[in-house]
Amino acid sequence: IDPTLDLFAEIERLKKEKNAVLLAHYYQEADIQDVADYIGDSLGLAQYAAKTNADIIVFAGVHFMAETAKILNPTKKVLLPDLNAGCSLADSAPADLFKCFKEQHPGHLVVSYVNCSAEIKALSDIICTSSNAERIIESIPEDQPIIFAPDKNLGGYLNKKTGRNMVLWNGACMVHEIFSLEKIIKLKTRHPNAKVLAHPECEEAILRVADYVGSTTQILQYAVQDKTTQEFIVATETGIIHQMQKDAPEKTFIPAPPNNSCACNDCPHMKLNTLEKLYLCMEYETPELVMDEALRKAALKPIERMMEISR
């Protein structure tokens, strides 16, 4: 790419010329968030994708998010700046193993967290995201046995919140498992008025000390609307702090410390997308997310059930 090119202006030009909409997750780098038409959590992004009139959906997020947009929009072109932007949580549930697991639990309804492949969605009865999971579980009769996949931390949190005893798949997110309880507690002693905000993909011990647990959008809204708190310790991917600082510049947001000083709270998958790759994918309309139609239809059903309940 010509280094003198104004990528922000070029991306804006391509959006107009191609009737393309740019959707970004909060974990994207700040420049990408700033040029996006919509930034949201997984549910917000899926809902936005479902109603857009654009011809092209450019998805600055990870593969399962772009795939969900494609499942909802088969006639639209869906572009992802880097097709290798996967998700450790989605990878923790290979479809063949999950199929065997399901067979070992006959009579169970399968609720899958949206962070999974289309193959897992096709094996599921209903999908949920971090913002509607509790509501989805509560919509299921209490005596109905449930398998929850792939996130054991979110599943455990939901079991506690709803009093259910769902069978959990043993998956987790590499980013949300690195926070150190000890270091968070030490940080709290230095910042006694700070509130801890956590994503439900964090381990149980972290969720126990959190003042608020929610999806990325919910955490952001909580931080902005809380009139009594000036400081927040944020136990999720660091990208969200960009919007927090934009929406509440007078407040302080401290990333929750990881347990290993060499580790960081950045999602290596999300951060594969760059402004340069974004520009190139819009200019050349590649890489494109393509899907087998039978798989798409099978994965659509449980997503539609979720959308119905989340209206």
**Residues in the annotated binding site for iminosuccinate:** 25, 42, 113-115, 130, 199-201, 216
87 is a contact residue toward ligand SF4 (CB under 6 A): yes
Q: Which helix (H) or strand (E) holds 196?
A: strand 195-198
Letters for 149-188 (x = contact with ligand SF4 by CB under 6 A, - = none) are ------------------------xxx-------------
Report the alpha-carbon distance of residue 26 to residue 286 in Å, rounded: 23
> Using the rule CB under 6 A, is 223 a contact of ligand 13P?
no
The rounded distance, in Å, linking the Cα atoms of 5 and 25 is 25
Could you tell me if 120 and 84 are in contact, meaning their C-beta atoms sit under 8 angstroms apart?
no
With tokens 């929750």, the residue in question is: 256
Closer residue to ligand 13P (CB): 63 or 102: 63
Q: Does residue 202 touch ligand SF4 according to CB under 6 A?
A: no
**129: partner contacted, choices ligand SF4, ligand 13P, none (Cβ within 5-8 A by kind):** ligand 13P
Distances in Å between the Cα of 159 and the Cα atoms of 61, 147, 213, 292 are: 28, 11, 14, 34
Binding-site residues from annotation for [4Fe-4S] cluster: 87, 173, 267
- Name residue 112's beta-bridge partners: 127, 149
Are 64 and 90 spatial neighbours (Cβ–Cβ below 8 Å)? yes
Minimum distance between the CB of residue 176 and ligand 13P, rounded to whole angstroms?
6
What minimum distance in Å lies between the beta carbon of 83 and ligand 13P? 17
| Closest distance of CB 115 from ligand SF4, Å | 5
CB of 6 to ligand 13P, least distance (A): 30
Q: Is 128 in the site for ligand SF4 (CB under 6 A)?
A: no
4-41 residues labelled b (16+ CB within 10 A) or e (exposed): eeebeebbeebbeebebbbbbbbbbbebbbebbeebbb
Select the residue interacting with ligand 13P from 28, 129, 153, 180 (CB under 6 A).
Answer: 129
d(Cα 161, Cα 207) in Å, to the nearest integer?
Answer: 12
132 binds ligand 13P (CB under 6 A): no
Q: Does 62 bind ligand SF4 (CB under 6 A)?
A: yes
Q: Which helix (H) or strand (E) holds 146?
A: strand 146-149
Partner in contact with 42, chosen from ligand 13P, ligand SF4, none, beta carbon below 5 to 8 Å by kind: ligand 13P
Distance CA 231, CA 233 (A): 7
Is residue 173 involved in binding ligand 13P (CB under 6 A)? Answer: yes
41 vs 67, which CB is nearer to ligand 13P? 41
Residue with tokens 């990528």: 7
Binding site for ligand 13P (CB under 6 A): 41-42, 115, 129-130, 173, 199, 201, 215-216
Binding site for ligand SF4 (CB under 6 A): 62, 87-89, 115, 173-175, 201, 237, 267, 269-270
